[in-house]
Structure 1
């Protein structure tokens, strides 16, 4: 009589090997948990690639992973006014998501996680009530399938998370910005307005009616992209227009990518039993800026802590701690950035005034301090008060935009 091979069982199966999934797998493996990291090989998310010093410190990102160090940003208004925002005494690191994400996955494997390349298909439970993860291995045929048992599952499989849609109520109802970018070979010194140490951010309706477009240097390469919530907006054409007007249309295009970016955190990250979401799957991308790498790294770490606690105590309520801890640390920032995006990005009139505010020294200092350290700056109430009154003046049209 032929016996069926035993199905492998893991403490945790992590679906998705981006910053959130790879970090969760690393931390859990270091805690002695058995971990399977399941990832679609070759997938690269469209991303500006910026990581603040807080991320570099907290997640031990080595210097060799930084392909550029940005020392300032330039904000370009609808009337083409340009406002420079230099970083005083610091920098923003830039990474290329292809090599960076693979380095994170390799770190997870070095910590003891098992890696497999494959596509998640579905979740169910066996007779013992243990989750079974079904996936299609990359190295198998078109009809090949595999399955593993998982005491817990972390869904870190992106904004349209299949894990979330199958297991977590409300995971399919979050609005998204759709982002598209082209990676080009960086121009040489002949392009006068290109600075390899500066990020350019375009707040212009034709390039994005409700978000922004960007030019972010990555050392040898540069990301040129845009995003919008509006269905039918021609993202590729907007990028082509941006490249043409900046002279970057002459640069060699190396690859292009598109993907949805969630606009705010989900109200619930777990299913109350054995599934927890992290990263884009949980909606942790900062409104207004679209920044996600730091929040994904942190979300992965908090997911690992919550899963480890749930496994240790056999109490699934511990899974909810991931969201509670994240929102306690960053919920206020996300709320403020959400208000900023909804108001200042709604028209070229408001965008013009928003860019005008960015020339203010108080705005620049507080913006960079908050961004670099990932916390609101509370030590300068006078500066906050000045910014408030300047905001009101701009809103009422009483100040020069």
Structure 2
């Protein structure tokens, strides 16, 4: 007996898709390579905890302040009012989600995706079993490709899936130092400095007993390990014990198409749903898994392959505007240290601070204060046109 849906990938997007479909009574397989921990700052907003009923015990820290650091070392501390940023450790969080899918009825398979084959009897996923090394074939009606930024499913099956833009992210998990002026276990530091990253940013994110220190870039030839070492040195973290080192691509633009018009739909990083500018991906990956499951359910019920397009349509309807705004911000301010200096200066504005984190926590642009938006827009244009100098208070 085959499956209704075969999910390739057991990260947040694949696990949520498998769980949703299993709870709906579908026969589901979830194939995961196992043993890999994705490099990730680990931040999730309160909305993710609400929407996906995340056990509060999975949070290793609750961040209440974000510190923006400019190329000249200027600092802006932004309080996160009426909320927090939750931090998770991907080593444990992803497995937690996979176990939920398993408990809901999805069959967990451990191995590597090889290809999709089709014949008169239908669609088969060909994969290699990790334990035996043998090649296996699993019949299925639909495939959800949730296998990451360099998705083998996307490359083989979906137009444009082999040309997705991405940054390379690298981080080191270190033993957290005692609290000090340089390190606060309830504060995320975001470093906008061309010496750390010429086109993105560096970060120091507390994870309870540990911390994630890293950076990302699209620029070829940047030594990510050297840049991270420089970041650790400047932050007084060079002497902290290093627990592990990880690197991976992070996509920064949703694909124009998420399905192959037949029997495949993409989810999460495979579809490119990581927020530009911030690089936030966990929440959007989970949403991507949910809309992929919704589209799969619709197609299985109706028999219409066009229903697979619902995944991208639903996601972009709710989050497309935020992605476009963040892309514009990245294009405007990440080009040079002079622009980065202006961006951090702009973050001094109280309205910028409030609207930014209200939007982050609730995952939608805030429209309740039109005068604040107008004020921010004017200041933004003044900085971009160099009509004002970066100001510090």
Q: Same fold (TM over 0.5)?
A: yes
Q: CA RMSD in A?
A: 0.8
Give the TM-score normalised by structure 1: 0.96
Matching residue of 2:128 = 136
Q: SS state of the match for residue 366, structure 2?
A: coil
Counterpart-to-counterpart distance in 2, 1:56 and 1:321: 24
Instruction: Compute the displacement of 1:340 (Å).
Output: 0.5
Counterpart-to-counterpart distance in 2, 1:82 and 1:90: 22
For residue 201 of structure 2, the aligned residue among 201, 205, 212 is: 212
Counterpart-to-counterpart distance in 1, 2:188 and 2:264: 38
Matching residue of 2:47 = 54
Matching residue of 2:173 = 183
Mapping of residues 219-230 of structure 1, within 5 Å: 219-230=208-219
Q: How many residues align?
A: 390
Instruction: Compute the displacement of 1:43 (Å).
Output: 1.0
Instruction: Compute the displacement of 1:338 (Å).
Output: 0.5
Report if the CA contact (8 A) 2:70-2:192 is conserved.
yes
Counterpart-to-counterpart distance in 1, 2:123 and 2:153: 12
Matching residue of 1:165 = 155
For residue 267 of structure 1, the aligned residue among 252, 256, 259 is: 256
Give the TM-score normalised by structure 2: 0.98
For residue 38 of structure 1, the aligned residue among 1, 6, 31 is: 31
Report if the CA contact (8 A) 2:141-2:263 is conserved.
yes
1:63 correspondence with 2:52:
no
Q: SS state of the match for residue 23, structure 1?
A: helix
Instruction: Compute the displacement of 1:103 (Å).
Output: 0.2
Mapping of residues 335-350 of structure 1, within 5 Å: 335-350=324-339
Matching residue of 2:3 = 10
Counterpart-to-counterpart distance in 1, 2:81 and 2:142: 44
For residue 127 of structure 1, the aligned residue among 116, 120, 125 is: 120
Mapping of residues 257-336 of structure 1, within 5 Å: 257-336=246-325
1:366 correspondence with 2:347:
no
Matching residue of 1:384 = 373
For residue 91 of structure 2, the aligned residue among 94, 98, 101 is: 98
Instruction: Compute the displacement of 1:397 (Å).
Output: 2.5
Counterpart-to-counterpart distance in 1, 2:83 and 2:340: 27
Matching residue of 1:3 = none
Instruction: Compute the displacement of 1:398 (Å).
Output: 2.8
For residue 235 of structure 1, the aligned residue among 215, 221, 224 is: 224
Report if the CA contact (8 A) 2:332-2:384 is conserved.
no
Counterpart-to-counterpart distance in 2, 1:334 and 1:393: 23
Instruction: Compute the displacement of 1:329 (Å).
Output: 0.5
**Alpha-carbon deviations, 1:255-278, whole Å to 9, x = none?**
111110111100000000010000
